[in-house]
Structure 1
Amino acid sequence: MRAFLQVIKGPGLGRKITLREGQLMYVGRTTADINFPENPEMSSVHFSIQWLGNECQFKDLNSANGSFRNGERVTDSLVYNGDEIRAGQAIFRVVMGEEGELSNPAMPEYAKPAVQPTWSTTKHEAPPPSGGTSGRIPAQQPPQQNTPQSTFQPSSPPPAQTPPPAPAPHAHAHPSAPIAVNAGMPSAEGSVGLLIATATDVVQIAPVDDDTKKLAKPDWNTPQFVESLAGQEKFLDAIRVLAFAMGKLTVIEWAHRCVNIGCGEGLSKIDANALDLVQRWLGDRSEGLRREIYAASQAADHGTAASWVAMAAFWSEGSMGPPPPAPPLAPGPTQCAHAATGAILLAAVAKQPEKAPDKYREFLRVGLEMVKG
């Protein structure tokens, strides 16, 4: 038996999302596991869906425009074969049974083979070999290596500008205060350095296309692969590979540094505040400070590189739902890396986009120094 969602109307018509039993899948516009950037009315992470045999558990994730099951607005609902879900401008149909029930052989398959999520990764949890169960496979995006553009575009000009605070080197290395996260939720504790050491392993989870995956040699480590991609000017994929190989705290710090390098004195007061909060949180990961970071990202309307650094921190641990007494909602294991990648790519084109290739090279140099040192 198989289950999938297929877009039957609106942006992304024909796209199909394969579900695997027990797997929690996040769907949204820009930073989910499956992304629909062509659907402007979807939220960045709009809903989650989990196949549970004869039914699927559907949850709207506080989206701006809501989700609708068979025309009725829902926040948390079971959905069944044939149900239709509207998110933004698109309508998805739930199909359970034989794939041929609503499958067109000419339509591309967007979901990749899935593996079980790993909610907390540390230095001591070595990733399994290729084909193992190191994390859920995120959706693939079309390659854009030869253009200084990012899929993460600011929605409005930044407000009045002020210089950013200088980042502290490796601020996450020695937390100085107790860590408060919701019980049972993922933690970023110990998630530092290079966690996925080999090229063939990291391409199993990094959102790169099949042509890039084929370039990964079995005897290459991740830094070698990143350097090879950069040498071929496949900068976007090089950044994605390195980001998804890093521990959560390291990728957040890398994104923080890149935004300071790329935006510099062009940061607004709102963005500078977001980066300052992230820098403080890297050294003192309290739950209260993490919630302040989320508020700072909202203040920037999730439209700037700094706001995506903040979202990377917020999604690195704890619940992505409202504070208690609301029930906890765990972020997906790749959401932190997705947000950090978005911040880095946006930082390269925020100012003087014609110089993006040079910025990509500098960002990669900084990132590689962090994991090699």
Structure 2
Amino acid sequence: MTEINLIKIKQEKASEISGLFELSELGQSLLTQDVTPAEFIEKLIQEECFTDCINFIAYGLPKREATWWACLCARSCQSTQMNPKDAKAVESAEAWVYKPIQENAKAAFIAAEATDFKTAAGWAATAAFWSGDNLSPLDDNIVLPSPDLTAKAVAGAIMLAASQDGAAQVKNRKQTFIRQGIDIAKGGDGRKVVQ
């Protein structure tokens, strides 16, 4: 088995990432001391531990790449006509990805609030906001985000996107989204992955 080169995931051991979130029992049983992130992802896919795999990639990717992944997934679950609030949320999150400055992070939060945090697009925008430098609405009062917030929002966005078309499509959507996440982790943009 040829190991995939995940250039965006800097941790050498899967345990450095898996300790950041709660793995399922099956996921825990697949985790060995020396397993690399790429090997662990392959094991999770083989055992159909798709939720664990999504979480693992979300926590392993840098914030910009993870937020981009959430944006791709949010866009893919929309029909040809995305509702205006979701469209604004994804556009705001993408603006932060393209230019990760605090002004764009704050704009993403405003767009996320408009979705009532009920959609994949809203959580993609939340990921952008939680990736910023300050959670406070006041510029002179700095409230640093917890390092795990972005990954939580990204995983939430992806899970919501996967369930968008009902239970029958969840497994297929998760598999597609995982392929996108792997492509991003390999240095790609995730767009070439076939739905």
Equivalent runs, 1:180-191 vs 2, <5 Å: none
Corresponding residue of 2:63? 248
CA distance in 2: counterparts of 1:348 and 1:304, whole angstroms: 11
Mapping of residues 261-340 of structure 1, within 5 Å = 261-265=76-80, 267-325=82-140, 327-340=141-154
Residue 217 of structure 1 corresponds to 32
| Deviation digits for residues 343-372 of structure 1 (CA, Å, limit 9, x no counterpart) | 000000012331110001100111111112
Quick one: higher RCO (CA 8 Å, sep 6+), 1 or 2? 2
Structure 2 residues not aligned, in runs of 5+: 1-6, 188-195
CA distance in 1, matches of 2:22, 2:78: 25
SS of the counterpart of 2:136? coil
The answer to whether the 8 Å contact 1:294/1:311 transfers is: yes
Query: Are residues 1:372 and 2:186 paired?
Result: yes
Is the CA contact (8 Å cut-off) linking 2:128 and 2:150 kept in structure 1? yes
The 10-residue stretch of structure 1 (268-277 or 257-266) with the greater mean CA deviation from structure 2:
257-266
Instruction: Confirm or deny: 8 A CA contact 2:14 2:37 kept in the other structure.
Output: yes
Q: Distance in 1 between matches of 2:158 and 2:56?
A: 13
Q: Relative to 1, partners in 2 of residues 1:210 and 1:357: Cα closer, same or farther, differing over 3 Å?
A: closer
What secondary structure does 2:12 align onto?
coil
Task: Write the mapping of 1:1-373 to structure 2, written as runs, cut at 5 A.
Answer: 193-265=8-80, 267-325=82-140, 327-373=141-187
Which 5+ residue runs of structure 1 have no aligned equivalent?
Answer: 1-191
SS in 1 for 2:78: helix
Q: Of Structure 1 and Structure 2, which has the larger fraction of its residues in strand?
A: 1
Deviation at 1:328, TM superposition (A): 1.6
Contact 2:134 2:143 in 1 (8 A): yes
Specify the code of the residue in structure 1 equivalent to 2:41.
Answer: V
Gap change, CA 1:259 and 1:349, over 3 Å in 2:
same
TM-score, normalising length: structure 1: 0.46
Q: By how many angstroms is 1:210 displaced?
A: 4.7
**Contact 2:131–2:150 (Cα < 8 Å) also in 1:** yes
Q: Is the 8 A contact 1:196 1:246 kept in 2?
A: no
How many residue pairs are counted as aligned between the two chains? 181
SS at match of 2:131: coil
Structure 2 counterpart of 1:252, which letter?
T
Normalised TM-score (structure 2): 0.85
Q: CA deviation at 1:319?
A: 1.2
C-alpha distance in 2 between matches for 1:282 and 1:217? 34
Change (3 A) 1:222 1:266: farther
1:195 Cα deviation after fit:
2.9
Change (3 A) 1:195 1:264: farther
Quick one: distance in 2 between partners of 1:241 and 1:294? 24
1-side partners of 2:182 and 2:33: how far apart? Answer: 20
Question: How far 1:251 moved relative to its partner?
Answer: 0.6
* Distance (Å, rounded) in 2 between the aligned partners of 1:357 and 1:345: 11
RMSD, matched Cα? 1.8
Q: Using the alignment, how far apart are the partners of 2:65 and 2:113 within structure 1? A: 23
| Distance (Å, rounded) in 1 between the aligned partners of 2:127 and 2:168 | 26
How far, CA to CA, are the matches of 1:245 and 1:285 in structure 2?
Answer: 19
Residues 193-229 of structure 1, C-alpha deviation per residue, up to 9 Å, x if partnerless? Answer: 2132322222111321354223113332212211211
Amino acid at match of 2:90: L
